[in-house]
Structure 1
Amino acid sequence: MRPLKVIVDQASLRHNLAIVKQLAPKSKIMSVVKANGYGHGLINVAQGLSESDGFAVLALNEAIDLREHGFEQDILLLEGAFESYEISIAAKMRFNLVVHNLHQLQMIEKLKLNHPIDIHFKINTGMNRLGFNPNEAKEILKTLQNKTHFKSITLMTHFATADEPKGVDWQLTVFNDIAKHFNFSHSVANSASIVNFKKTHLDWVRPGIMLYGASPIMGQKSSLLNIKPVMQLKSKIIAIQNLSKNDSVGYGETFKAKNDMRIAVVACGYADGYPRHAPTGTPVYVEGEKTLTVGRVSMDMLYIDVTNIPQASISSDVELWGEHIPVDEVAEKAGTVGYELLCAISASKRVPIEIIHG
């Protein structure tokens, strides 16, 4: 069996959830577990985050999966319903729906629901992805206040620059100018704003990436936030090659040895979710030592420098990210973000997941 695997530590999930509770003690926590729990496995993650007040997912099947595994918390569909039948299922199974356009509202109003539904009314405060235009939102909300098919209404928005110097005030002002006219619950804080802006800790907070141990703030190490990595991507050395000066390794001769070198071949490549564009010099951990990749990442393999790690041999364990190598460091080298790397593991469907229930 190929030695590549993902290890998911549920104790770290619980630890990171506790950090969110410390940061936002008066808010309910809607833990974001979309994209198969950011690549960690939906149910694995939900079990580790079972003390959450709610879960946010993208697809109806994810919400159903959570219910069928016994999770009774609020479950929010972040893009709402795409078809009318989904609304009927959501009402019956007590899912909350994001509503971000008139088409979705009209679908709900045309149905004769046996169960009133909870909605999260999304306001576009400047990110310009999803949400009602703020110039129209107030009047639309007035028409919804007395509708019997809505059990509750929560106002929400999403911040575009909570992790950047521009901050959140430019969007929060727009949101508050609408929200102050209604006695509805509020949900605005993502991971970055949970960390950076206490004023965003309203009725609900929606932590995502920080629950998985990656930093929500570019350039800030996750260790400074006291959050722990949940995923460890591990493989093994499957071959050793000795290079002479000017020898190359991998496709395209993108790396040539400046001196004699000892190179290890590791069973992991871009088809497994490792970033193809991770350049020479991306950190890895082997036999208690930090070292670097060399050459171009292949579909199924990558290459690391073990010249100064004589104990490294065939079958030596290699950590590609996790406890010793933060996923954010790998992402930064590859010109991307930790979110993408974690989710890419799930998308590959080639890497088995091992759970530590601790």
Structure 2
Amino acid sequence: MPRSTTAHIDLDALRTNYRKACERAGNARVMAVVKADGYGHGIARIASALADIAPKYAVACIEEAFAIRAAGHPQPVVLLQGVHAADDLADCVKNQFEPVLHGGHQLQWLGQGNHLPDFWLKVNTGMNRLGFRSDDLPSVMARLEKMNAFPWLQGFVSHFACADDAGSTMTSAQTATFEAATSPWPSLMKSVGNSAAHFIPGQPLFDWSRPGIMLYGGSPIVGKTGPELGLEPVMTLEAPLITTRTVRAGESVGYGAAWVAERDTRMGMVAIGYGDGYPRHAGTDTPAAIGGRRIRLIGRVSMDMLAVDLSNAPEAREGDMVELWGRTVGVDEVASCAGTISYELLTGITSRVPRICG
């Protein structure tokens, strides 16, 4: 029989988090960001769980949008990276995809088409990844007017670089740039609000917000965990204890002998490793849990296994399930120990780990 290493997906928690985003969005409507396979949770099941409450989805690329259509959902889908080839625009028209256009080459493709999709323009307000500079926007709009493309232009999009940092002034500066750049076209819609922006007091979210990580229970704010922000974990990652033993004082565990017992210590091996997407850099003292009791990792994470100190769970036995993250141990805690963010952990769980709803 297969091992019982599993990612449990709580779709009720997902819906609760989406409603929390709606509450925080005020008058803005909320498009659900389900890119990267629904942040590792499974794009089809995530889209299905939100289908009756989310009026619009957002993804990175067109193949993710097709996955939503394959799951049977008709809502408009915003393509945050736009399109990667001219022919993609015809697919956008046919399937009600809304590309975010960010470069002159995409405008050229738009002008070559006989039929246009609904589309957005990306405004570069300081992130400096994608988008038209604010001072170039008048010429871009003039070009679109000459193409008679205005009826399909939905509005403007930008993205914040430092909204996760409460001490940064960059978000307010980007907002001011965005408002000034788009003010000549007040009838067009605006969207800037990533997850972090929902937690900035007084931050305008305009017409559409775009929550991502907060839908899955991860924190978008530096120094805060998802539960501290009122978010519920959607993924609980579990794996079984496959052996237990007592390591004597002075003995080591695992590769590189990275952990040496200071005293006789009962430990266990857990059937999960970096081959499953658990972070290799999560070392000694990274929290886990068993039977609701917090325990800790010891030594190095290997490809298929990791070791835990069972001193705080003396009744633990082979076959018991270890929570790597979930309701007892937050994914943000594990991410901090691994020197990364919850986004990477959730999207990094490999296909070797089955996702089970319930």
Q: What amino acid is the match of 1:175?
A: F
Query: How many Å separate the matches in 2 of 1:174 and 1:139?
Result: 17
Aligned to 1:112: 114
| Letter in structure 1 aligned against 2:328 | H
Give the deviation of 1:48 after TM superposition: 2.0
Query: 2:206 maps to which residue?
Result: 202
Residue 79 of structure 1 corresponds to 81
Whole-angstrom CA distance in 1 between matches of 2:311 and 2:172: 51
Structure 1 range deviating more: 55-64 or 153-162: 55-64
Check conservation: 2:111, 2:147, Cα contact below 8 A. no
Distance of 1:126 and 1:297 partners within structure 2:
38
| 1:240 is aligned to 2:241 | no
Q: Structure 2 matches for 1:23-42, cutoff 5 A?
A: 23-42=24-43
Question: Which residue of structure 2 lines up, in the alignment, with residue 103 of structure 1?
Answer: 105
| Superposition deviation, residue 104 in structure 1 | 0.6
Alignment partner, residue 123 of structure 2: 123
Alpha-carbon distance in 1 for matches of 2:228, 2:259: 34
| 2:351 match | 349
Matched letter for residue 34 of structure 1: K
Provide, for residues 280-321 of structure 1, a one-character-per-residue CA deviation record: whole Å limited to 9, x for no partner: 000000122101000000000000000232210100111000
**What is the match of residue 6 of structure 2?**
5
Distance 1:329 1:77 in 2: 31
Return the alpha-carbon distance in structure 2 between the equivalents of residues 256 and 98 of structure 1.
53
Alignment of 1:131-280 (within 5 A): 131-145=131-145, 147-149=147-149, 150-164=151-165, 165-167=167-169, 168-182=171-185, 183-280=187-284
2: distance between equivalents of 1:245 and 1:223?
Answer: 38
Q: Secondary structure at the residue paired with 2:67?
A: helix
- Structure 1: 4+ residue segments shifted above 3 A: 145-150
Partner of 2:46: 45
Q: CA deviation at 1:263?
A: 0.7
Say if 2:71 is the partner of 1:69.
yes
251-260 or 212-221: which moved more? 212-221
TM-score under structure 2 normalisation?
0.96
Letter matched to residue 26 of structure 2: P
CA distance in 1 between partners of 2:152 and 2:201 (Å) = 30
User: 1:171 is aligned with what amino acid?
Assistant: Q
Gaps of 5+ in 2: none
What SS is found at the alignment partner of 1:235? Answer: strand
* Preserved contact between residue 233 and residue 326 of structure 2 (Cα < 8 Å): yes
Distance 1:328 1:20 in 2: 19
Equivalenced residue count is 352
Deviation at 1:53, TM superposition (A): 1.7
Task: Give the percent of matched residue pairs that are identical in Structure 1 and Structure 2.
Answer: 39
| Residues 28, 204 of structure 1: 8 Å contact kept | yes
- In the alignment, the residues of structure 1 paired with residue 145 and residue 243 of structure 2 have an alpha-carbon distance, to the nearest angstrom, of 66
295, 305, 312: which one aligns with 1:308: 312
CA deviations on 1:90-123 (whole Å, 9 max, x unpaired) are 111110001000001101111222xx31111001
Residue aligning to 1:18: 19
Give 1:11 deviation, angstroms: 0.2
Q: Secondary structure at the match of 2:267?
A: strand
Once superposed, what is the RMSD of the aligned Cα atoms?
1.2
Deviation at 1:197, TM superposition (A): 4.1
- Give 1:62 deviation, angstroms: 1.5
Give me the whole-angstrom Cα distance separating, in 2, the residues matched to 1:337 and 1:108: 37
The answer to whether the Cα contact below 8 Å between 2:293 and 2:312 also exists between their aligned partners in 1 is no
Query: Which structure 1 segments of 5+ residues have no match?
Result: none
Does the 8 Å contact 2:48/2:71 carry over to 1? Answer: no
- Aligned partners of 1:44 and 1:112: how far apart in 2? 35
